Amino acid sequence: MSEYAIEVENLSVCYKGLKSYSIRKNLLRRKRSEKELFRAVKNVSFKLQKGEILGIVGKNGSGKSTLLKAIAGIFTPDEGSVELHNNTVALLAIGVGFIKELTGRENILLSGMLLGFSEAEIRRRTDEIIEFSELGDFIDKPVRTYSSGMYSKLSFAITAILETDIILIDEVLSVGDARFRKKSYAKMKELITQKDRTVVIVSHDSKTLLDLCDKLLWINDGEMMQFGATKEVLAAYESYTG
């Protein structure tokens, strides 16, 4: 019998934004500006079995990152549901998960505890995380001083060493210098070869998707276009984008 790690059902996520309006008229009327809802993800449904690797494709602004954040629990769905069946989950994404005023070392501890690891376990693995990140003395400097590449190195190192049941990856494999990208790619392949680990990858790189993913989800303007075998969905997506 199949064991699902992720079940997403009729998921919708909305953002609130201000409608366009005249400042002069708004001041004269002394009324609050009306807000409108933007549906970033619209009624998306899919199931992923334990150990499967899913790729997500779509143009920029199609809702890929929003979908990942909803699966990670960062965004609360406006409609529908996400069921992770008590699996631990980590999201790898630039700009997510760190308190910028804290040092890299302090963020390792905080991130690990948020992932559900004990303080003793995190401290036991901290040197390994720092070594993998290659940040050197920067590990004791505030994260706000980091470049995007340094940020992604630390984020990847934490997730790679403190292994969770589900890993969500938002383009992080494409950030950083070429040598570190190669190292990260090799580590990710090592992680996902473990049959019980479930992975969701957002990427624009066809080779990465073909090499790593069992299935592909294509979303466009928040809507699910196709879900199925990687080669089939990727061919349809590339034909559509031309």
Summarize pLDDT for 185-229 with one digit per residue, the tens.
Answer: 788 788 777 778 999 999 888 998 998 899 999 999 999 999 999
Per-residue pLDDT of the chain (242 residues; tens, 9 = 90+): 469 999 999 999 998 764 544 555 555 555 554 567 788 999 999 999 999 999 999 999 999 999 999 999 989 999 999 999 999 998 877 656 789 999 999 999 999 998 889 999 999 999 999 999 999 999 999 999 998 888 888 988 898 898 889 989 887 666 567 788 788 778 878 877 777 899 999 988 899 899 889 999 999 999 999 999 999 999 999 999 98
- 11 is written with which tokens? 């998921």
* H helices present in the chain, as ranges: 23-29, 64-72, 104-114, 119-133, 148-161, 178-192, 206-212, 230-241
Residue/partner pairs of 183-187 with CB below 8 Å, 24 or more apart: 184/156, 184/160, 187/132, 187/156, 187/160
pTM of structure: 0.81
What are 148-160's pLDDT values in tens digits? 888 888 988 898 8
Ordered by where they begin, the domains of the chain are: 1-25+35-87+165-242 (3.40.50.300), 100-164 (no CATH)
Phi, psi angle pair for 65, to nearest 5°:
-65, -40
Token duo for residue 158: 């934490």
